[in-house]
Homo-oligomer: A and B are copies of this chain.
Amino acid sequence: MFEEKKWTLKSIAEKLGVSNATVSNAFNRPDQLSEKRRKDILAACAELGYSGPNKAAQSLRKGKFDTVALVLSDSVEYMVSDPVASHFMKGVASVLAREKINLLLFSGSAEHVNSVVDFVDGFICYGRPRNPLLVEQLKQVRKKVVTVDFDIQRNASVGIDNQSAAHEIAQLAIQSSDDDVAIMGLRLLDHNAICYVEDLDSVVTEASVAHQRLKGYLSALSFKDVTLKKQRVWNIPESRSECASIAAKQALNATPRANVFLCMSDIIALTLMNEATKMGLKIPSDIRVVGFDGIDEGVRCNPPLATVHQFSEQKGIKAAQMFVDGANHEETLPYGIREGGSC
Contact A97 B114 (CB under 8 A): no
Contact of A2 among B54, B60, B142 (CB under 8 A): B142
In the complex, which residues 107-133 of chain A have their Cβ closer than 8 Å to any Cβ of chain B?
107, 112, 114-119
Given contacts A87-B81, A93-B80, contact A114 B154 (CB under 8 A): no
Query: Could you list 10 further interchain pairs (A-B, Cβ under 8 angstroms) beyond the known A51-B112, A56-B60, A104-B105?
Result: A2-B140, A52-B114, A55-B114, A55-B116, A56-B65, A76-B96, A77-B93, A81-B90, A93-B105, A102-B115
Given contacts A56-B119, A77-B93, A97-B76, contact A104 B107 (CB under 8 A): no
The smallest beta-carbon distance between A78 and chain B, in angstroms, is 8
20 of the cross-chain contacts (CB-CB < 8 Å) are A2-B140, A51-B112, A51-B114, A52-B114, A55-B115, A55-B117, A55-B119, A56-B65, A57-B118, A58-B118, A60-B60, A65-B119, A75-B94, A76-B93, A77-B94, A80-B80, A80-B86, A81-B86, A103-B104, A104-B105
Contact A97 B115 (CB under 8 A): no
A6 in contact (CB, < 8 A): yes
Contact of A93 among B75, B87, B96 (CB under 8 A): B75
